[in-house]
Structure 1
Amino acid sequence: MTEKFDYIVIGSGSSGAPLAARLSEDPEVTVLLLEAGPPDRHPLQLMPLAFPRVAMGSIGTWQYVSEPEPELYGRNLPVPRGRTLGGTSSINAMIAIRGNRRDYDDWAGMGLPGWSYEEVLPYFRRLESHWRGASEWHGGDGPVRIEPVAGPDLMWDQTMAAAEAAGIAFNDDPNAAEQDGICRMEATVGGGVRSSTARVYLRPIAGKRNLTIRTGALARRIVVEKGRAVAVEYGTASVARAEREIIACGGAINTPQLLLLSGIGPADELRASDITPVHDLSGVGRNLIEHPNIINEYELRDDLGLTRHLRLDRAAQAAARWFARHDGPFAQTGTLANLFVRTLPGLDRPDVQMMCLPMSGDARMWLPGVQSAFPARLSARCGFLQPKSRGWVRLRSPDPRDPPRIQFNMFSEPDDLAAMVRAMELSRELYAQEPLARLIVHEVRPGDGTQDLAEYIRRNGATRSHPVGTCRMGVGEDAVVDGELRVRGIDGLRIADASIMPMITSGNTNLPCIMIGEKAADLIRGRQLPISELPPSHF
């Protein structure tokens, strides 16, 4: 049986859920939202501190793995993506960063009107209920709750004092006029619960008559007839036809995979994968951009930070407290601060981001008398914000159930590795300052005395799970979508997710993806929020 809907949205993640919800605001249209994974019913998906276990586990994820990375000694990098309602917004670290205002001005400067920061800021405001309340920078009544990460064990005061000693100024709001400096971490958390797009956009309208949500519905192919996208084949043998438009929102990995499965992409590459080309579009799957990541870690002298809450008896109490009241240690993400720093003269925006945690990145629970205690540690996730290296996504086979091939080509551009070395040097400088220095026993990663940081990074570096760019927005022949997110050469088909970003944003990508979903809904409906008049930069 073939069903008919006005709009079909493929993927319920950071962009897809808000897009489907906004389209369904018009009672005269019908919307079908397809999600390959299950509903977001597991409690750990809602518990903020549980995000590492969720992201790297089997609860609502695709656990992809990259091809051997040439500049990383052939290592395969993990590529976890969301496979559940809410997509990656249901498994990520919940860090609420928009990127730098100049990122979006650069997009507009590439011949993409409508994407300057003045034009996208209204959508950032519309999506959020910010703890500061409504202002020229923030929204006060949007779906996504944003709150500061707070708690007695975060070691904020010591970290802030060390940053000041290192010459890094305090910035009260990196999502306002400028990013530079150290700021308290803000997260997409409301009332101690993850504010995923499934929870805040879809759950409040569950049962709405003109919105149909199908889980366990893996899209197999977009059907194109006479140059127009008209239907989606999904599941085992289901077909849904779109009377108006189909919008792919699978993210930077799954959206190019679906287009390639549908015969939309580089023709020679499609033939090599036994796919009949429908539309030769060279940019599909190209221009993969990802933030590199490296961890710097220190062992503490005393039982400080969050690690002590992982002793099994304490963890049971903290978990019970969260289930009962949604507060306590497990109600926050455990990431205490963001630092945005310019490490070279003449830069117009920060090039390095450091996220500070009062625990180890691989801390585990332990039971006295049975397992040895996991030592109390501090850690920093260091990354370069504007990488030049580019990778790709390709088909492994014509079977949509097979994972795609992913190649980041990380550090294929030497400047990226040099920037990562500067990021780790900055981290070491921070933790060498008082009062942190007196609390530290020694450096665990890369280890006291390690001098060849470039070698360490090549052997241990990974990604930040921020893949973007594989169906990039632009005006050239290698662009996949135009400034209104329409796929070039195919009528009735748009893309709205991280894959359309022509350049990666300077920070975490969840909020930008939600913004893209919000803006896409208005583009489809022929609307535009009033442009913001921004105050001048104070930098």
Structure 2
Amino acid sequence: MSRKYGDFAMHSKTPAQGAYDYVIVGAGSAGCVLANRISEDPGVSVLLLEAGGADWNPWIHVPVGYFKTMHNPATDWCYLTDPDEGIKGRQLQWPRGKVLGGSSSLNGLLYIRGQREDYDDWAAAGNVGWGYDSVLPYFKKSECQERGADEYHGADGPLHVSDLRLRREIAERFIEAAKVAGIPENADVNGATQEGVGYFQQTSYKGFRCSTAKAFLRPALKRHNLTLIKHAHCQRLLLEGKRVVGVEYRQGGQTNRVKANHEVLLSSGAIGSPQILQCSGIGDPGHLKKVGVECLHELAGVGENLQDHLQVRLVFKTRCRTLNDEVRHPLMKLAVGTQYVLTRTGPLTLAASQVCVFTRSREGLERPDIQFHMQPLSSDKPAEGVHPFSAFTASVCQLRPTSRGSIRIISPDAGVYPSIRPNYLSTEEDCRVAVDAIKVARRIATQAPLDEVITDEYVPGPDYQSDEQLLDAARQFSQTIYHPAGTCKMGHDPLAVVDDRLRVHGLEGLRVVDASIMPVIVSGNTNAPTIMIAEKAADMIKASRGASRGAA
């Protein structure tokens, strides 16, 4: 059964009238960056449309608040995948931010850039200007790294990147065990090399989340040339021939249209951007015809090339205390809350994971192909609370999966959720890496000093031993790590949707700027790379405007 987005009763401003130089669709991780950077030019007018509401919910700003905001329809689109054969026909929840800041207001705050080779491979595929040396300045531009500036980091940007404040015995033991297992210690996985084990860095400042709404949008809203319309759900793009000239959106049950003098910038994410394109008649003609949409511009790759990081969760019971013991009872929760209110420290400042590991699933690989997210707690589902025993979680995901899925509309109505087909574990390579990754996790767990405190492997458990059994465990005990990407891929092949300046192939006046343009998903968490993409896009947009002025 299809689901529809709810009608919004609240209006942030009166509907946009007339025309703006730039219309940005989506005030998420990328859209907030674009709104800030493009409106730096006082000579242009910018309209930012956001389908969600304001980021007023206090849990958005408390780092551990993702327990309250994910799967909450007030802040999360609450997407659900189609049943997926690769994970035993299960359907997975795919949280995506329905609020200013988008998923940067909901995510686990983890700041990871990926590997140098990720971007060099993008460039090698013909995407000029996307090699590591070209994108590094944009990572640095956005960053306010609390350690200070150096060759790899910036300290003057709006996005605060901080070290974790919380240290727990089980996390320290995990780090030492990984080192004994042959994984080098790495205090900065966003620096010279990614490989190794260490603590995550997170997008927070003085105990509060630093979303793109807070870092980029809030300061920019003081400018007279930037207009924000909340609760404005884009229905389709407006085309005149092969030029996109504006946007149609709904707000509070009313349909409105707004024109863009220069460009429409689509920043609605790896699900929303291809959905809007398809609802606008841009995509595969055969599929559009099936759902009753007239094809106005053929682009077979719209919605294809979907990639995501699938994590296999291992849970180990321990004889030493973990965060399960600290937050399980009401009085403990009260103490934790009091600590946070008074000092902005303690468990409420936690990112989604504490310890990261980037390593190889097997010998002979040129670079790390798996990533661990270690949490000093465990649960079946975050909303259900922690387990009633001491335990920690070691989730491991394949960094560069070869499985490919799709986002396809099932109705011409942009209010109807699209079909999400990840096609997890659909290739032999992905299956092999999943099995090997579990073996790496178990190898770490058997090393001192971690093995001294582990009493039992709770998930998947000792009954899973053979490669066939381990693959079955991967299919049964896996979850998305919330990194959809690639559905409007950058490139010049038949499935490419945008060129290396993020302009939609064959159309004028339209760019896509978000994680959907990744040709291949980056080797790690996707929020920092999405912010980088928007920083780079903003400069390209400014350059195009400068060139048009010169021509005039």
User: What TM-score bracket applies, with the shorter chain setting the length?
Assistant: over 0.9
Please give the alpha-carbon distance, in whole angstroms, between the structure 2 residues aligned to 1:272 and 1:350.
42
Query: In structure 2, what residue type is equivalent to 1:381?
Result: S
How far, CA to CA, are the matches of 1:50 and 1:444 in structure 2? 26
C-alpha distance in 2 between matches for 1:445 and 1:213: 46
TM-score normalised over the length of structure 1? 0.94
| Paired letter, 1:464 | I
Aligned to 1:157: 172
Matches within 5 A, 1:54-453: 54-153=69-168, 155-235=170-250, 236-305=254-323, 307-333=325-351, 335-362=353-380, 374-451=388-465, 452-453=469-470
SS of the equivalent of 1:51 reads helix
Is the CA contact 2:184–2:197 (under 8 Å) kept in the aligned structure 1?
yes
- CA pair 310-143 structure 1, distance change in 2 beyond 3 A: farther
Q: Using a 3 Å threshold, how does the CA distance of structure 1 residues 305 and 347 change in structure 2: closer, same or farther?
A: same
Tell me the distance in 2 between the aligned counterparts of 1:173 and 1:433. 23
Q: 2:491 aligns with which of 455, 461, 474?
A: 474
Question: What letter corresponds to residue 435 of structure 1 in structure 2?
Answer: P
Say if 1:413 and 1:6 are closer, same or farther in 2 by CA, change over 3 A: same
Equivalent residue letter for 1:427: A
* Separation of aligned partners in 2, 1:490 and 1:466: 28
Backbone CA RMSD of aligned residues? 1.9
Task: Check whether the contact 2:234–2:276 (CA below 8 A) recurs between aligned residues.
Answer: yes
Instruction: Report the more deviating stretch, 253-262 or 294-303.
Output: 294-303
Q: How many residue pairs align between the two structures?
A: 524
Inter-partner Cα distance in structure 2 for 1:117 and 1:418: 29
Q: Report the CA distance between 1:324 and its aligned residue.
A: 4.3
Contact 1:61 1:82 in 2 (8 A): yes
Q: Distance in 2 between matches of 1:75 and 1:306?
A: 27
Q: Deviation per CA, 1:148-168, whole angstroms, max 9, x where unpaired?
A: 113243633212211121111
Q: Distance in 1 between matches of 2:381 and 2:168?
A: 15
- Pair 65,365 (structure 1): closer, same or farther in 2 beyond 3 Å: closer
Deviation at 1:513, TM superposition (A): 0.2
Corresponding residue SS for 2:257? strand
Amino acid at match of 1:279: H
Between stretches 316-325 and 210-219, larger displacement belongs to 316-325
Structure 1's 307 and 35: CA in aligned 2 closer, same or farther, altered over 3 A? Answer: farther
- Find the residue that maps to 2:506 and give its secondary structure: coil
Residues 419 and 112 from structure 1, CA distance in 2 versus in 1: closer, same or farther, beyond 3 angstroms?
A: same
Q: Identify the residue that residue 500 of structure 2 maps to in structure 1.
A: 483
User: SS of 2:217's equivalent?
Assistant: helix
What amino acid does structure 1 have at the position aligned with 2:354?
Answer: L
Q: Does 1:10 align with 2:25?
A: yes
Q: Does structure 1 conserve the Cα–Cα contact (< 8 Å) formed by 2:39 and 2:220?
A: no
| Contact residue 342 and residue 351 of structure 1 kept, 8 A | yes
> Compared with structure 1, are the counterparts of its residues 181 and 51 closer, same or farther at alpha carbon in structure 2 (3 Å cutoff)?
same
Match of 1:37 in 2: 52
Structure 1: give runs of 5+ residues left out of the alignment: 529-539
Provide, for residues 299-358 of structure 1, a one-character-per-residue CA deviation record: whole Å limited to 9, x for no partner.
121333454134222212322332444322211225221100012333222001011110
Q: Tell me, in whole angstroms, the C-alpha distance in 1 between the residues paired with 2:363 and 2:175.
A: 24
Match of 2:536 in 1: 519
Deviations 1:422-473 (A, max 9, x none): 1111111111112111212211100123221101111222221111110100
Counterpart of 1:291, as a letter, is H
**Which range moves more in the overlay, 292-301 or 500-509?**
292-301
Q: State the Cα deviation string for residues 509-529 of structure 1 (Å, max 9, x = none).
A: 00000001111100101189x
Contact 2:324 2:389 in 1 (8 A): no
1:460 maps to what in 2? 477
Q: Matched residues, percent identical?
A: 39
The letter for the 2-side match of 1:422 is D
**Where do 5+ consecutive residues of structure 2 fail to align?**
1-15, 546-552
8 Å CA contact retained: 1:131, 1:146: yes
Q: Which amino acid aligns with 1:496?
A: V
